[in-house]
Structure 1
Amino acid sequence: MVNINEPTMFLIGLVEKACLVVAIDAQARYATAFIKGDFTLPSKQTMMVEWKGHADALRDEGRPQSHIHLLDDKEDAYYAALTKESGISRVPPVLSRIRSHDTEEKRKNLYTYRDYEYIVVDNETFTRRLEK
């Protein structure tokens, strides 16, 4: 989300296969922590090496570079990395699990996946029940 060449420019919300509201919130808190001076970004060189490694991994997997913003099963790890780098509060892992489960339910039956309510039990677990 940080423009490596203009490191005061943040591009918030450019993620795919993630809970967008949760991702935008975490990214906004990350950008705010940076602006407040709570942490400093890695060097341009370090950020470029990390970006290139990610781009190379996509290429090696035969995936297009447009997948660079795809979180999917790496969504929770993304939030953990934002927390580790900036010190912002951690997005509870349960939110990524709910999104993954909901996506799978959508694939199973597009007509009934909305019939359920998700209940957060704790930071790690949730239950699901049929809405009345």
Structure 2
Amino acid sequence: MRNLNNQTSIPNSWQMPEGLGRLEAWLERKGVDVHSIKSDRQCLHFVTKLAGVCTKWPARGQSAIPELVRLQKSICPVRQSVSPHTGRQPWRAQPEPFLKSKGAASPVRSVDENILAEITARYGLEPRKVTR
């Protein structure tokens, strides 16, 4: 049998469902011949090995399609052109600002000046200037 791309297709091969198109494209980019996959369980095996994730396998005789759909959502997320919540493009979002210090932590966590002088003298360290 020949398909439209002039490739021979195996009559007993498993066809990827239409809803898993992004996962199929991801497997092709990883170098997998998706036309030679025999079952949904074999497809699940390829995805877990290539993505480096652990997953709960369905019981024997049950379909692995729900697990493939779940993995597709995490591996190949859909990029929206504009975020519905903020109105900006999600991949060009502003980075979160670093946490800034708001002064001394607390009097409980501060070191008494006498103890600090004793420690610096004992270990030969230069005393730090205490700013308050």
TM-score, length-normalised on structure 1? 0.26
Higher normalized strand content (fraction of residues): 1
Q: Which has the larger radius of gyration?
A: 2
TM-score, length-normalised on structure 2? 0.26
Higher normalized helix content (fraction of residues): 1
For CA contacts below 8 A with separation 6 or more, give which structure has more relative contact order. 1
